[in-house]
Amino acid sequence: MTNTTDTIVDTTKVSTAPATPIVPLPPAAARATAVAGSAVALVGTFLAWTWTKEFPGNLTVTGYPGGLQVLTLVGSLLTLLFAVSGYGVKGLRWLTPGGTNSPVLLGALGVLGTTGYALGAISYELGGVVNLEPGAYVSGAGALLAVIGALGLPVDQPYDPSDPHPHLWGRIRHALTAPEPARARELPSWAEILIIAAGFGAGLYVFAYGIGTEYSELFIGFLIVTGFGFTAVTRAGLLKRLSALTAKHRNVAMAAAFVAAICFPFTQTNDQYALIGANILIFATVALGLNVVVGLAGLLDLGYVAFLGVGAYAAALVSGSPQSTIGVHFPFWAAVLTGALASLVFGVVIGAPTLRLRGDYLAIVTLGFGEIFRITMNNLNGNSGPDVTNGSNGIPNIPDLEIFGFNLGLSHSVLGHELTRSGNYYLMMLLFTAIVVLVFRRSAESRIGRAWVAIREDETAATAMGINGFRLKLLAFALGACLAGLAGTVQAHVSYSVTPEQYQFAGSVPPNSAFLLAAVILGGMGTISGPLIGAALLYLIPAKLQFMAEYQLLLFGVALMLLMRFRPEGLVADRRKQLEFHETGQLDVPEDKSLPEGATGVAKAGA
């Protein structure tokens, strides 16, 4: 028997050499090309893009951008600022603390996507490219030139030679990985507070603009430019700096967010858009309640929308509706407590026998509960069962709430602005959302919240450390159900009626269990702002793109697959999730001095 020694060389070490640019341009020429292309695309928005007003947005005016031209202008200006900041211009260096090149590429891609979509939509709806005016070609050529210049810039991070996609797709994917921003110099407290206020003010403006888009073409362009622009701002390091400031001034940030949300109904002149805002808050509040169950405790609940239905039905039965089979009329506070308490009781009743299950078994049982609730509400019609819920007809004609003589169903003048019915319910739901956020935050930071996280990570280990897993899981289930019931009481009055079809596992109209779970995963499990952002996106997009209702579930599935592939931790992820989903899994190996510099040797003996 002879022993042989083999040497294994680790070749996965990341090289600090920059990647070969896709476009063979010197860095200075590439940056100049990106600057010139962005400027040309911006100038093109002041020229006419088409000759007829049949395309929405009136893109026929020279010297006054409108519709999709405004989105191209904003994207071009942002890309231009990022590109110019790479020259080290004093006063613009703060724009890119995390890297100067990746934001340029992402911004240029957003401009190209928005402009290309606009040109394609004009050609498709008006019958050919002959309907395009010179301004459209100028902006399109400028956007393409900006992308070419951005692709010629070196990457912001060390290059990995083992990347299987070293060319265009790898270059774009590399731009999506942001380095840590440079340490910012300390600013006075008043300046940091002003930055926080400006950040939330910008967020309010973007959100209000997205809801107020009047036609689908403009909303699709808004999604393109906002998606790439938000990613570019994130990769530039600005969002991390803003997050650091909000963490430092947490109470100020919470107050600024609340004030910005209060201002939203005063920015809308159409009652329909304020109603969308109210429904988004209902959806977001329920998603935040589900985040207690899924994000903190790690319990996969596929029938969570049933708790929303329990609260809604309970409030409808005591609302004084002529079709209510109970025939009572509770005041507002009593109706809210009735809905929340009914959902809490159902949460305990359902959770007590089922929470001894884990994983897929628990998910199947909760899915069954959601379907049982819907079928039961449909059968309590006086024929198949007792006459309680009017069966498939539901409980219509739910009267508007009245709080201290203030009727939420009537318009009121506040500071010279007419606040409509939808605005009234939006502000009341905003108060409920603030309460739910406070409950979630206090729960997550308490001993119980840390115990939930321990159960989520490893229930067996948590039990071995003395944590009563069943009791704490039941508490999470009951708390999540109570928060959903709280939102359900408002939903019943906002929609005037409740029917069994509103509370399904999946459907084309949220809220339903599938969309609620997706909102938590999309936004970021275990965070506060994540489910709020995810719920806003998942409700707003179907509401604005109703012409794509037939393909909604298909697009929904594709979006989830892309999310799981490229950002499994969600849009707003905590530090734990980022490390969990992006760790390399490689162990550090002592360097073998006998090998060439930069290589690692591992001696492996074999017979």
Rounded Cα distance between 363 and 468, Å, is 21
Domain edge (last residue) among 484, 505, 526: 505
Which residues lie below 8 Å from residue 443, measured CB to CB, with a gap of 6+?
292, 296, 449, 479
Rounded Cα distance between 164 and 167, Å, is 9
Judging by DSSP bridges, how do beta strands 417-419 and 412-414 pair with one another? antiparallel
Is 132 a domain residue? yes
Domain edge (last residue) among 488, 505, 522: 505
Q: How many domains does the chain have?
A: 2
Q: Are 419 and 407 in contact (CB under 8 A)?
A: no
Is 198 a domain residue? yes
Look at residue 37 and give its three-state secondary structure. helix
Domain match, 234 and 352 both: no
Which residues lie below 8 Å from residue 25, measured CB to CB, with a gap of 6+?
33, 149, 152
Domain match, 315 and 443 both: yes
Domain match, 235 and 305 both: no
Domain match, 314 and 388 both: yes
Q: What tens digit of pLDDT does each residue of 511-520 get?
A: 778 888 888 8
Domain edge (last residue) among 472, 505, 538: 505
Is 109 a domain residue? yes
Is 278 a domain residue? no
Q: Sign of dihedral through CA atoms 178, 180, 186, 192?
A: positive
Domain match, 62 and 194 both: yes
Please state the pTM of the whole predicted model: 0.79
Is 541 a domain residue? no
- pLDDT score for 142: 94
Domain match, 54 and 118 both: yes
Minimum mean pLDDT range among 268-282, 376-390, 528-542, 590-604: 590-604
Alpha helices by DSSP H, listed for 212-358, are: 216-236, 238-248, 250-263, 271-291, 305-317, 332-354
Domain match, 125 and 56 both: yes
Model confidence band, residue 528 (pLDDT cutoffs 50, 70, 90)? confident
Total length of the chain: 607
Rounded Cα distance between 43 and 410, Å, is 47
End-to-end, the C-alpha distance of the chain in Å comes to 7
The three-state (H, E, C) secondary structure of 456-467, written as one string: HHCHHHHHHCCC
Instruction: Please tell me which of 40-44, 489-493, 566-570 the model is most confident about, judged by mean pLDDT.
Output: 40-44
Is 535 a domain residue? no
Q: What tens digit of pLDDT does each residue of 64-78 get?
A: 898 899 999 999 999
Domain match, 207 and 325 both: no
Domain match, 228 and 334 both: no
Domain match, 230 and 328 both: no
Q: Find the helix or strand (DSSP H, E) in which 501 lies.
A: none
Burial category of 67 from C-beta neighbours within 10 Å (exposed 0-12, middle 13-18, buried 19 and up): buried
Is 590 a domain residue? no
Q: Which domain holds residue 372?
A: 294-505
Look at residue 165 and give its three-state secondary structure. coil
Domain match, 317 and 219 both: no
Domain match, 67 and 192 both: yes
Output DSSP code: residue 575.
H
Q: What tens digit of pLDDT does each residue of 100-112 get?
A: 678 888 899 999 9
C-alpha to C-alpha distances, 174 to 27, 30, 83, 227, nearest whole angstrom: 17, 18, 18, 17
> Radius of gyration over alpha carbons of the chain, in Å?
27
Is 377 a domain residue? yes
Residue 411 pLDDT greater than 80, yes or no? no
From the list 43, 177, 40, 196, the residue with the least C-alpha distance to 103 is 177
Q: For the chain, give the percent of residues with pLDDT over 90.
A: 13
